[in-house]
């Protein structure tokens, strides 16, 4: 039997929030529930990779849906909501679509952020708002074939350190 | 029982504060997608994951044609499309004004890679479907805010 060691990628952490419930997002920047991670990079790491898969739905605005999202960190937050949050450069995006008629769009986002490593513990989170009051959206909505809302579709987050 | 410390090729790279790329009907290299594959294996199998941001251009519709290419001379004269490693990216394209802004996550597996470099190139389907990559002037309710999304590339030998 042969064991192959490949320790270039270390210190994996992940989030699966099984108590997640969907929520509408309007024009105030807020935490995307289920995306908060407390993380300390491995000593000597060159990069940290933060990956997240997340779903949004059109409602309440059926012809336009524009999440404005960013990756942020904090060194003083206790719960991913309070404290001071800094947006990491190069992680901002306005995504979604609009149509000349109602098109009821759903989106599944698969974000990958390759960011420089740091020393010590930080809290990271995805946060965002809608572009306008006419492009609001719902985070993690699950709509079943029976025509009713199901369990929330929680974000999935994976974070790890890349060694040189 | 044997323990091997096998060295597999890996690459993580990102471009900070990239310039906007306007994509018309000519294929162009996507900034940040090119890499040198420096594997100890002569024919490695590679996972190629590249992420970038795209938004509709002046025509407010977008349809991108994307393909993976390889080269043994840094794309100087040897440029080869990797077979079947292609994709289209679009939103609702029924009428002008059907805007579409999105991060694009590409994922390709290249078996028995026999060259030195990889990159992604893209073009618009036609002049009515042009796109702009990496930057946007719209954010948080303002049409005059410059934001950018750093493209990132991960290549792993498996």
Rounded (10°) CA dihedral A18, A114, B66, A92: 80
Per-position b or e across B67-88, b if 16+ CB within 10 A of its CB: bbbbbeeebeeeeeebeebeee
Q: Which of A47, A58, A65, A68 to mutate to test the interface with B (most CBs of B within 10 A)?
A: A68
Task: Mark out chain A residues that contact chain B at CB-CB < 8 A.
Answer: 1-6, 8-9, 27, 29, 46-47, 49, 66, 68, 89-100, 103, 105, 107, 109-115, 129, 131-132, 162
Q: Which residues in chain A have their CB less than 8 angstroms from residue B94's CB?
A: 99-100
Rounded Cα–Cα distance for residues A15 and A66 (Å): 25
Q: Report whether pLDDT(B1) > 70.
A: no
Peptide bond into A76 cis (omega under 30): no
Rounded Cα–Cα distance for residues A45 and A90 (Å): 20
Cα B86-B88-B91 angle, rounded to 5 deg:
165
CA proximity to B4, closest of A83, A2, A68:
A2
Residue-range domain boundaries for chain B = 21-157
Evaluate the CA torsion angle A23, A24, A29, A32 in order and state its sign.
positive
Each residue's pLDDT tens digit, B61-91: 788 999 999 999 999 999 999 999 999 998 7
CA proximity to B143, closest of A126, A109, A72, A135:
A135
Rg (alpha carbons) of chain B, rounded to whole number: 17
In the DSSP assignment, the letter for residue B82 is: E
Q: Between chains, do B4 and A103 touch, taking CB under 8 Å as contact? A: no
The interface predicted TM-score of the complex, written ipTM, equals: 0.90
CA proximity to A58, closest of A107, A20, A22:
A107
Q: How confident is the model at residue A146 (pLDDT cuts 50, 70, 90)?
A: confident
pTM for the model: 0.93
Cα A74-A31-A144 angle, rounded to 5 deg:
150
Tell me the mean pLDDT in the region A96-101: 82
Rounded Cα–Cα distance for residues B105 and B109 (Å): 13
Each residue's pLDDT tens digit, B5-54: 567 899 999 999 999 999 999 999 999 999 999 999 999 999 999 999 99
Each residue's pLDDT tens digit, B106-139: 999 999 999 999 999 999 998 888 899 999 999 9
Residue-range domain boundaries for chain A = 9-107+122-142
Each residue's pLDDT tens digit, A40-55: 999 999 999 999 999 9
The whole-angstrom distance between A50's CA and the closest CA on chain B is 11
**Within an 8 Å CB–CB cutoff, is residue B99 touching chain A?**
yes
Please determine, looking at this structure, whether the domain spanning B21-157 carries the CATH number 3.40.50.
no
Q: What pLDDT was estimated at residue B6? A: 63
């Amino acid at each position: 039997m042969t064991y192959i060691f490949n320790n270039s990628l270390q210190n994996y952490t992940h989030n699966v929030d099984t108590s997640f419930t969907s929520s509408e997002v309007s024009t105030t920047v807020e935490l995307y529930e289920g995306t908060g991670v407390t993380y300390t990079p491995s000593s000597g790491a060159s990069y940290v990779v933060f990956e997240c898969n997340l779903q949004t739905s059109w409602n309440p605005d059926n012809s336009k849906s524009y999440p404005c999202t960013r990756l942020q960190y904090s060194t003083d937050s206790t719960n991913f909501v309070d404290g001071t949050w800094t947006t990491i450069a190069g992680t901002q995006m306005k995504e979604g679509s609009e149509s000349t008629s109602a098109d009821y769009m759903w989106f599944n986002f698969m974000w990958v952020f390759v960011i420089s490593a740091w020393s010590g513990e930080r809290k990271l989170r995805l946060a965002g708002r809608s572009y306008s009051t006419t492009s609001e959206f719902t985070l993690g909505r699950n709509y079943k074939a029976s025509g009713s809302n199901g369990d929330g579709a929680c974000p999935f987050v994976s974070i790890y350190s890349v060694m040189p | 029982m044997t323990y091997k410390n096998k060295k597999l090729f890996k690459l993580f790279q990102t471009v900070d504060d990239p310039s906007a790329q306007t994509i018309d009907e000519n294929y162009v290299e996507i900034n940040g997608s090119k890499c040198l594959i420096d594997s100890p294996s002569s024919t490695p199998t590679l996972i190629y994951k590249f992420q970038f941001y795209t938004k509709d251009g002046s025509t407010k519709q977008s349809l991108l044609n994307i393909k993976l290419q390889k080269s043994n001379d840094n794309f100087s004269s040897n440029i080869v499309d990797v077979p079947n490693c292609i994709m289209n990216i679009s939103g609702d394209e029924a009428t002008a004004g059907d805007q579409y802004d999105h991060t694009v996550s590409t994922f390709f597996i290249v078996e028995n890679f026999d060259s030195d470099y990889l990159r992604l190139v893209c073009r618009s389907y036609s002049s009515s479907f042009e796109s702009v990559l990496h930057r946007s002037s719209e954010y948080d309710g303002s049409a005059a805010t410059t934001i950018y999304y750093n493209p990132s590339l991960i290549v792993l030998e498996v």
